[in-house]
A = this chain, B = another copy of it.
């Protein structure tokens, strides 16, 4: 038995297939991909990586399996999937996932191809596990896939807790010790045992407060948007392939951006934290449907129009329009008076949180400090904001 010290879960016991997977290049790469991409420009302590998060998810999966009484090869498969669940992430994690989806046509948790690569496939097979089965679990398929990716998955439990620990923000109201103890399968569906409505609510609440305070902090969104635009430009103006791009580390992406004439200025701005500012920060009600439903191409077109109207270079305008707010945890199953119910049927808090999320939603338009006024005026006209 081999145990790794973790700042969140204390000791993580690593054995069997997990121990061998840790040594693969794909897992070691996650040491170089930060968990919260640009958040550390706001919360300087938040430099933690997807590697330590992956260990944490593996640890919680292990505990949940023990509590559920699942062992043998099925448990091995879930543990492997938990450890590998983030290997599909590109550099800076979620920040580049839309680029990768557009250019490679695959979502970050579609890792079927990746798990076929020599070293991972080799390790899995040497432990009697089929790469395809693991990839399906990571995509949340099947009964046990719910543990890895679903409303009550151990991924969420770990990241809320870990992000709170590393940012210092006390809003990670998650009690994993309780959560893993009250999980149960009811007719193949993962649910929380009787008496745990508040336990289920605590997960939603944690995410709502972390969203407002950490994940969607405007400084982090600005830096993230600058990064994303630069990455697009890098792919457009160099011979970096999307395949190569998707396997970069954070540092490799930054270095590439610095080395490319088209993106070097933006890269230096990011490295030295000289960020764009908010020209516009609009509430959901103020944004026309045409903007809300615009795809990436349309957003790019809006940016061009705004830049022209404001008489600034195209790259001086970034339109950051998040999707309509969603809250998947509201489907969480809880046993109430002997029946499995969805949380939103049971908890009036859910509606409140959904409304709060809509109230927090903002469309951002960012520009260099000198251009703010012009861009603000132009944006209002071009996008038709109220």
Contacts and interface: CB of A to CB of B under 8 A. Distances in A.
Interface of A: 1, 3-8, 10-11, 23, 25, 28-29, 31-32, 34, 40-41, 43-49, 51-52, 55, 165-175, 177-178, 181, 197-198, 201-202, 205-206, 208-209, 212-213, 249-252, 254-255, 271-274, 346-353, 355-356, 358-360
A300 B11 CA distance: 39
Contact of A348 (B205, B272, B359): B359
B213 A209 contact: no
B353 A173 contact: no
Nearest to A172: B170
Contacts of A349: 208, 352-353, 355-356
Contacts of A6: 44-45, 168
Can you tell how many copies of this chain the complex includes?
A: 4
Contact of A251 (B8, B40, B198, B254): B254
Given A4-B44, A170-B174, A356 B347 contact: yes
Looking at A48, A51, A197, the one whose CB has the most chain B CB atoms below 10 A away is: A48
Contact of A48 (B41, B45, B178, B250): B45
B251 A11 contact: no
Contact of A168 (B7, B254, B274): B7
B273 A23 contact: yes
B7 A167 contact: yes
A181 B1 CA distance: 9
Nearest to A213: B198
Nearest to A171: B173
Nearest to A209: B202
Given A4-B44, A11-B178, A349-B352, 7 more contacts: A29-B272, A47-B47, A47-B52, A169-B175, A208-B349, A251-B255, A351-B351
A217 to B, nearest CB: 11
Given A168-B10, A198-B212, A356-B347, A40 B31 contact: yes
B165 A7 contact: yes
Contact of A352 (B52, B213, B350): B350
Given A52-B45, A177-B11, A201 B5 contact: no
Contacts of A172: 170
A181 B3 contact: yes
27 contacts: A4-B44, A5-B45, A5-B169, A5-B178, A6-B44, A7-B46, A7-B166, A8-B45, A8-B168, A10-B177, A11-B177, A11-B181, A25-B272, A28-B271, A31-B41, A32-B271, A44-B52, A47-B49, A173-B206, A197-B359, A198-B213, A250-B251, A255-B255, A347-B356, A348-B355, A349-B355, A352-B353
A276 B167 CA distance: 34
A28 B273 contact: yes
Contacts of A31: 40-41, 44, 273
A49 B44 contact: yes
